């Protein structure tokens, strides 16, 4: 069912999922607060994701600052390239993303540069949506929030627009922690910031949002994947950049080079499976491949997991092959050794490039430090020095720029036990807020004004509603006891003793609570309570002491009828 996103957002506000932040001061578009139910739903999604990536797949979770000094984002390319194109109304000053205004005028306006967008908008006579005023020529706008670290002039810094860079700059530490073996992966779950040009679509385009990002570091010449064998015959709906959209088996997709390699295909599958596990509707999911011109500056291949929602098809996750772009960029800019070491089975006589320091030039330039600079140069990977007019190295914790005349990259025959390699990165990057919005959209169902959120128990913010039929005659105490047992067993529960039972069911259905337990006068006679299923409205009676056990079985997927043994 295609639903009105405003209807969903108003339910979210009314029932305590989320609302515009700083509302009492007029709110700021692109910033949202999560209320108790939203925070719980978000935590459940994030914890389920950790279970998959950290526990099942063995990624290492790290946590880095959200603010970083400029050189980090200069190296990553974000300072120069992380831009959108906007136009401004010359009358009312409203701003718009130029590619959004060009929707429907080109198959993929996001792939166009500012010049082409300007021509397209002009040719179609596009004016300000608010006041029909004239629009300026399109201009590029960097989406990072700029700040400074420290008093006075301070150091230029940015709020991170992705968590990924934290994993790249920490490659050496995490590689060492993992006993220096490739492949390995690191993850972060945390906030990211983008100064979006004109966010008008609820949770879809936020200026502060949450990401769950995984960076898998692999051997640059080996993108086969052991886990691929287990999933190769699964199929996913793909929209490739060339050829027709189709549902295709993973092994066929890799063989036909629709998906570039096994690792990318495996992590696309894992992403798809995660989406299904938390309850997204398979009929409204697809993977769309980026056009070459649409791809982020760091990616060599990228597929977006998209969900169809009230806003149309929206991107929830990007799964990209980032190649060696980021690690190499940080090697080049920082001079740090961010390489992995590939040990050969036996030492080999090889002809290879080496970085050879020139003491004749280093001495006069670096004086007492020349020896240490030479040692740092010898540690550089030849790729990071070849053809460069200068390189950065670290000496006694200080960054030193070394001009090309101080070293040469030359071929040498040597007996070596291994070689340094710059790893490639496969990155599944999830937006938590969009995932959450799509989940709510797909779970929303309405019949004769009766709203039910059919959230899966795995993610539902409240698992059980507990109701005493009357808030008296000891029924309230029994209900409180059941509530305590449930929360003690780890099930988020909600005790509700006001209004008719029908109203209470409706309140729980509207926020996606899968089960309700009612204590009535029979409970006092035979010790049983009613358990009611949200989706079937089916009810069964079981012993009140057995409620936590029953909910545990239901969460694991048992049907209500299986509770007969607990009567
Ligand atoms: N590290 C890769 C990266 O940042 P991205 O495609 O720019 O890739 C990843 O972002 C995910 O983050 C998107 O698929 C989307 O779910 C989410 N996302 C990006 N910008 C967002 C925004 N302004 N508001 C909410 N979510 C956003």
- CATH number of domain containing 373: 3.30.720.200
| Residue 28 burial by Cβ neighbours in a 10 Å radius (0-12, 13-18, 19+) | middle
Residue 282 pLDDT: 97
Domain range for 388 is 352-415
Q: Which of 31, 194, 318, 433 to mutate to test the pocket of ligand 1 (most atoms within 8 A of CB)?
A: 318
Mean pLDDT of the region 287-311: 91
d(CA 157, CA 136): 30
pTM for the predicted model, two decimal places? 0.90
Residue 2 pLDDT: 65
CA 262 to centroid of ligand 1, rounded, Å: 24
Whether 308 has a pLDDT exceeding 70, the answer reads yes
User: Domain containing 489 — which CATH number?
Assistant: 3.40.50.800
Residue 1 pLDDT: 55
Beta-bridge mates of residue 413: 351
CB of 290 closer than 6 angstroms to any ligand 1 atom: no
CA 315 to centroid of ligand 1, rounded, Å: 8
CA 218 to centroid of ligand 1, rounded, Å: 23
CA 562 to centroid of ligand 1, rounded, Å: 42
- 562/496 same-domain check: yes
Instruction: With respect to residue 511, please indicate whether it lies within any of the assigned structural domains.
Output: yes
Mean pLDDT of the region 227-250: 96
- 411/467 same-domain check: no
Mean pLDDT of the region 431-453: 97
- 477/547 same-domain check: yes
H/E/C letters for each residue in 16-63? CCEEECCHHHCCCCCCEEECHHHHHHHHHHHHHHHHHHHHHCCCEECC
- 467/531 same-domain check: yes
CB of 166 closer than 6 angstroms to any ligand 1 atom: no
User: Domain containing 100 — which CATH number?
Assistant: 3.30.40.230
- 555/470 same-domain check: yes
Q: How confident is the model at residue 68 (pLDDT cuts 50, 70, 90)?
A: very high
CB of 213 closer than 6 angstroms to any ligand 1 atom: yes
d(CA 536, CA 454): 11
Mean pLDDT of the region 48-72: 98
Whether 218 has a pLDDT exceeding 90, the answer reads yes
Chosen domain end from 400, 415, 430: 415
Instruction: With respect to residue 152, please indicate whether it lies within any of the assigned structural domains.
Output: no
Q: How confident is the model at residue 277 (pLDDT cuts 50, 70, 90)?
A: very high
Residue 111 pLDDT: 84
Work out the number of other CB atoms within 10 angstroms of the CB of residue 234. 13
Beta-bridge mates of residue 415: 349
| pLDDT tens per residue across span 363-409 | 999 999 999 999 999 888 888 899 999 999 988 888 899 999 999 99
d(CA 150, CA 155): 7
Task: State the total domains in the chain.
Answer: 3
Question: Omega into 183 within 30° of 0, i.e. cis?
Answer: yes
Mean pLDDT of the region 227-232: 97
For ligand 1, atom 21, name the residue with the nearest CA.
205
* DSSP label of 119: H
Whether 292 has a pLDDT exceeding 90, the answer reads no
Rounded mean pLDDT of the chain? 95
Whether 313 has a pLDDT exceeding 70, the answer reads yes
Query: What are the strands of the beta sheet with 95-97, ordered from one edge?
Result: 95-97, 83-88, 139-142
For ligand 1, atom 9, name the residue with the nearest CA.
429
Any alpha helices (H) in 82-232, and if so which ranges?
A: 98-101, 114-123, 164-169, 171-177, 228-231
Whether 565 has a pLDDT exceeding 80, the answer reads no
């Amino acid at each position: 069912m295609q639903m009105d996103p405003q209807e969903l957002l108003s339910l979210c506000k009314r029932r305590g999922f989320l609302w515009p932040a700083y509302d009492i001061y007029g709110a700021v578009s692109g910033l949202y607060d999560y209320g108790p139910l939203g925070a719980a739903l978000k935590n459940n999604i994030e914890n389920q994701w950790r279970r998959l990536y950290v526990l099942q797949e063995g990624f290492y979770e790290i946590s880095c600052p959200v603010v970083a000094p400029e050189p980090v984002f200069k190296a990553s390319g974000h300072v120069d390239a992380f831009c959108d194109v906007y136009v401004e109304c010359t009358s009312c000053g409203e701003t718009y993303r130029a590619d959004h205004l060009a929707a429907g005028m080109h198959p993929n306006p996001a792939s166009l540069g500012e010049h082409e967008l300007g021509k397209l908008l002009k040719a179609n006579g596009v004016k300000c949506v608010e006041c029909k005023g004239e629009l300026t020529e399109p201009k590029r706008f960097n989406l990072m929030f700029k700040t400074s670290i420290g008093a006075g002039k301070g150091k230029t810094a940015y709020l991170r627009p992705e968590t990924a860079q934290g994993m790249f700059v920490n490659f050496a530490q995490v590689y060492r922690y993992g006993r220096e073996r490739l492949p390995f992966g690191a993850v972060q779950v945390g906030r990211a910031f983008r100064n979006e040009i004109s966010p008008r679509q609820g949770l879809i385009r936020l200026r502060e949002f949450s990401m769950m990002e995984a960076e898998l570091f692999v051997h640059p010449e080996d993108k086969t994947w052991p886990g691929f064998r287990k999933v190769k015959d699964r199929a996913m709906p793909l929209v490739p950049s060339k050829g027709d959209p189709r549902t295709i088996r993973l092994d066929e997709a890799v063989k036909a080079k629709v998906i570039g390699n096994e690792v990318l295909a495996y992590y696309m599958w894992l992403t798809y499976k995660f989406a299904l596990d938390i309850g997204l509707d398979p009929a409204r999911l697809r993977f769309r491949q980026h056009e070459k011109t649409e791809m982020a500056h760091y990616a060599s291949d990228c597929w977006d997991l998209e969900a169809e929602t009230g806003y149309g098809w929206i991107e929830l996750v990007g799964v990209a092959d980032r190649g060696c772009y980021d690690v190499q960029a940080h090697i080049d800019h920082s001079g740090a050794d961010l390489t992995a070491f590939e040990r050969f089975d036996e030492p080999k006589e090889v002809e290879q490039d080496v970085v050879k320091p020139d003491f004749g030039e280093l001495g006069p330039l670096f004086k007492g430090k020349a020896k240490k600079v030479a040692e740092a140069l010898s540690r550089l990977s030849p790729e990071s020095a070849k053809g460069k007019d200068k390189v950065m190295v670290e000496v006694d914790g200080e960054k030193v720029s070394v001009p090309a005349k101080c070293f040469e990259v030359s071929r040498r025959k040597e007996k070596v036990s291994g070689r340094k390699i710059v790893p490639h990165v496969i990155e599944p990057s999830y937006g938590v807020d969009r995932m959450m919005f799509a989940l709510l959209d797909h779970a929303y169902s309405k019949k004769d004004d009766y709203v039910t959120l059919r959230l899966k128990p795995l993610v539902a913010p409240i698992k059980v509603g507990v109701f005493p039929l009357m808030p008296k005659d000891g029924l309230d105490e029994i209900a409180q006891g059941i509530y305590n047992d449930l929360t003690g067993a780890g099930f988020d529960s909600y005790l509700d003793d006001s209004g008719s039972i029908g109203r209470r069911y409706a309140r729980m259905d509207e926020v996606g609570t899968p089960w309700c337990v009612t204590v009535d006068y029979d409970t006092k006679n035979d010790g049983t309570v009613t358990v009611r299923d949200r989706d079937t409205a089916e009810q069964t009676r079981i012993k009140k002491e057995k409620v936590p056990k029953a909910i545990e079985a239901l969460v694991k997927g048992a049907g209500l009828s299986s509770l007969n043994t607990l009567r």
